[in-house]
């Protein structure tokens, strides 16, 4: 991280929840007799979501929040002790994308969305972490990449960003469960607004969930950003 991209220390109105995926039981499947495998994000990360730092981003900031969760994972992997205070704000993310020439100056302060490509650019610029981008033409093709995603979690154990076009809600992916020919992704949904009382509340309200590949939007393509940091 060079001087041009220094991040200011943050103070949050409440302590962000960490490792929210660890309280989620495996999905119930009809393939009880089939062999099953499960792989997760390795390491710690914080759950960033709408308005969690007092900044109002309801309706447009979901990809920024997923990126912030990924940044907290990277900071933890690199040994930071006060992870959250060094995570970039939405404004700092926008400023960095302008500084590297990806966006025009009026992007800073806008409500413009970002996607997997911008997440890649940002992580490369700020943390020197390259990413692999996988383009998936439709939700029907998600299952075809099950082994690729499992290998990623086994080899890198990163927190993944997933975005689409018709499914415009960015989300984090923190694991995969394969049971026979059934595939589930562990979704970390940043669209929660308010102060979560507990991880259990997030699970009960569906913000932390296992989602079958057939439940993704059938008319949407998806881009998946895989940070390459071991």
CB 228 within 8 A of CB 132: yes
pLDDT at 34 over 80: no
pLDDT in tens, 109-167: 999 999 999 999 999 999 999 999 999 998 888 999 999 999 999 999 999 999 988 88
Please give the average per-residue pLDDT across 183-205, as a whole number. Answer: 96
Going by C-alpha positions, the residue among 91, 65, 83, 86 that lies closest to residue 193 is 65
Going by C-alpha positions, the residue among 118, 124, 184, 188 that lies closest to residue 160 is 188
Give, in degrees to the nearest 5, the angle at Cα 162 between 74 and 221.
Answer: 155
CA atoms within 13 A on the CB side of 214: 2
d(CA 194, CA 178): 33
Give, for 201, the enclosing helix (H) or strand (E).
helix 199-204
110: which 2 tokens? 């806008």
pLDDT at 29 over 90: no
CA atoms within 13 A on the CB side of 222: 24
Please give the average per-residue pLDDT across 61-68, as a whole number. Answer: 98
Three-state DSSP at 213 gives helix
pLDDT in tens, 42-58: 999 999 999 999 999 99
d(CA 89, CA 68): 8
Predicted model pTM? 0.94
Is it true that domain 18-227 has CATH number 3.90.70.130?
Answer: yes
pLDDT at 80: 84
Phi, psi of 191 (to 5 degrees): -80, 5
Phi, psi of 178 (to 5 degrees): -120, 120
More confident residue, 224 or 81: 224
Q: What is the pLDDT of the chain when averaged over all its residues?
A: 92
Percent of the chain with pLDDT over 70: 96
| Residues 6+ away with beta carbon under 8 Å from 7 | 1, 86, 87, 88, 89, 92, 126
pLDDT at 156: 98
Positions marked active-site: 62, 189, 191
Phi, psi of 223 (to 5 degrees): -115, 130
Going by C-alpha positions, the residue among 93, 230, 216 that lies closest to residue 156 is 230
pLDDT at 32 over 70: no
Per-residue confidence at 3, pLDDT binned at 50, 70, 90?
A: very low
Q: What is the DSSP annotation of 104-115?
A: -GGGTT------
Q: Would you kindly state where each structural domain of the chain is located, as residue ranges?
A: 18-227
């Amino acid at each position: 991280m060079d001087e041009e991209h220094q991040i200011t220390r943050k103070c949050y109105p409440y302590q962000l929840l960490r490792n929210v995926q660890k309280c989620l039981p495996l999905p119930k499947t009809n393939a009880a007799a089939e062999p099953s495998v499960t792989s997760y994000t390795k390491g710690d990360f914080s759950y960033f979501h709408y308005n969690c730092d007092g900044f109002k981003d309801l309706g447009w900031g979901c990809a920024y929040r997923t990126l912030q969760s990924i940044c907290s994972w990277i900071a933890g992997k690199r040994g930071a002790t006060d992870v959250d205070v060094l995570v970039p704000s939405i404004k700092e993310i926008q400023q960095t994308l302008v500084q590297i020439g990806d966006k025009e100056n009026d992007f800073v302060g806008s409500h413009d969305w970002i996607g997997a490509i911008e997440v890649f650019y940002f992580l490369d610029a700020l943390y020197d972490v390259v990413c692999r981008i996988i383009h998936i033409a439709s939700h029907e093709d998600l299952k075809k990449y099950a082994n690729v995603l499992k290998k990623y979690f086994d080899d890198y154990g990163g927190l993944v960003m997933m975005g689409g076009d018709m499914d415009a809600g960015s989300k984090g992916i923190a694991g995969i469960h394969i049971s026979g020919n059934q595939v589930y992704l562990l979704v970390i949904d940043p669209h929660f607004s308010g102060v979560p009382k507990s991880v259990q509340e997030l699970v009960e309200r569906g913000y932390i969930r296992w989602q079958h590949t057939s439940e993704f939007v059938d008319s949407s393509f998806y881009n998946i950003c895989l940070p390459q940091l071991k």
